[in-house]
């Protein structure tokens, strides 16, 4: 059996450190080897204990979590899971952390939460197993955006699913999209309240319009729709005038919104007039839905293992036969445009 994942918990609140430690200690494959109340204590503990994973609070005295994360990624890159408040400010800071190179994020519990830090142990174990890589922040070194004049959009819909590592991956893909991109729907596993901030961030970084999906929103050329986190799934419906639908339904594969729910609806609505893409992420959500899309005639793409933060969802999809082309992250945006461009002899 592999050794337990060794974790350092960093938070300025003794109560929060105790809660995180208690949650993680329930998993026999996780071992909390130390705690720290600020960046100075954390730096000393990292040197002394050499943890596999660090959980890091966003807001701390002396040096905040973002500043400390930047130092970690420059001097001693390692998997870091950010712990954030469920506020707009907390979401903005967490998204910046994910771009800097944080492995994933969890939200601090709210009153009445049945499972505080529900997926934290699984994320810690995935982080410990990962081959952590640090890449330059996309907002610091933006990818070139394809000029709209070079792209003639066809009639296909694009559906993308992602989870752990998806913030950086989606930025890398969507920054390749021109202003007149095909209608694109996305489910990214993310805590509630974070998706609105993420959509706003993508909208600033990308040429098309990016917005959080709303119920009944028409799918239009040049628009990208991000599933809101929380209590509903994103689907597409209405073949004569395709639109977003937010549906109340139990979690699927442990997630709400679920990538499988989105992909299933795209397979039924668009069939061969769709492109499905599955990016980095834990678990298997989206794999069976992507297979359904391929069986319906859609073109399908999976991110390859080398460029994934976590080769989970794309691996399962590949093993099921759902992935037509497995590509590095840097090639996926261009491939989507090739598959959705209008043919020279007419609109596809």
Residues annotated as part of the active site: 163, 189, 285
Looking at the DSSP assignment, which residues form a beta bridge with residue 53?
A: 7
Cβ contacts of 184 within 8 Å, gap of 6 or more: 157, 158, 159, 160, 174, 177, 208, 223, 224, 225
């Amino acid at each position: 059996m592999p050794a337990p994942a060794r974790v350092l918990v960093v938070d300025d609140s003794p109560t929060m450190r105790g809660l995180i430690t208690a949650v993680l200690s329930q998993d026999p494959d996780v071992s909390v080897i130390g705690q720290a109340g600020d960046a100075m204590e954390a730096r000393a503990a990292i040197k002394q204990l050499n943890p596999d994973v660090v959980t890091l609070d966003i807001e701390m005295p002396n040096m905040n979590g973002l500043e400390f994360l930047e130092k970690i990624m420059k001097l001693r890159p390692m998997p870091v899971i950010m712990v954030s408040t469920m506020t707009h400010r907390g979401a903005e800071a967490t998204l910046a952390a994910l771009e800097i190179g944080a492995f994933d994020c969890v939200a601090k519990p709210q009153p009445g939460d049945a499972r505080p830090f529900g997926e934290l142990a699984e994320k810690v174990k995935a982080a410990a197993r990962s081959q952590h890589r640090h890449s330059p922040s996309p907002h610091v070194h933006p990818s070139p955006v394809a000029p709209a004049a070079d792209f003639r959009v066809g009639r296909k819909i694009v559906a993308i699913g992602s989870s752990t590592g998806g913030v950086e991956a989606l930025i890398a893909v969507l920054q390749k999209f021109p202003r007149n991109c095909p209608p694109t729907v996305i489910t990214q596993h993310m805590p509630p309240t974070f998706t609105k901030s993420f959509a706003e961030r993508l909208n600033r970084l990308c040429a098309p319009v990016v917005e959080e999906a709303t119920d009944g929103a028409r799918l239009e050329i040049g628009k990208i729709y991000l599933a809101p986190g929380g209590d509903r799934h994103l689907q597409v419906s209405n073949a004569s005038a395709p639109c977003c639908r937010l549906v109340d339904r139990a979690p699927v594969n442990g997630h709400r919104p679920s990538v499988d729910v989105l992909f299933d609806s795209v397979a039924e609505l668009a069939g061969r007039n769709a492109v499905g893409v599955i990016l980095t992420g834990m678990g298997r959500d989206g794999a069976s839905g992507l297979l359904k899309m391929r069986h319906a005639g859609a073109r399908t793409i999976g991110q390859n293992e080398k460029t994934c933060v976590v080769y989970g969802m794309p691996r399962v999809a590949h093993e099921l036969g759902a992935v037509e082309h497995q590509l590095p992250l840097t090639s996926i945006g261009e491939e989507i445009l090739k598959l959705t461009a209008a043919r020279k002899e007419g609109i596809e």
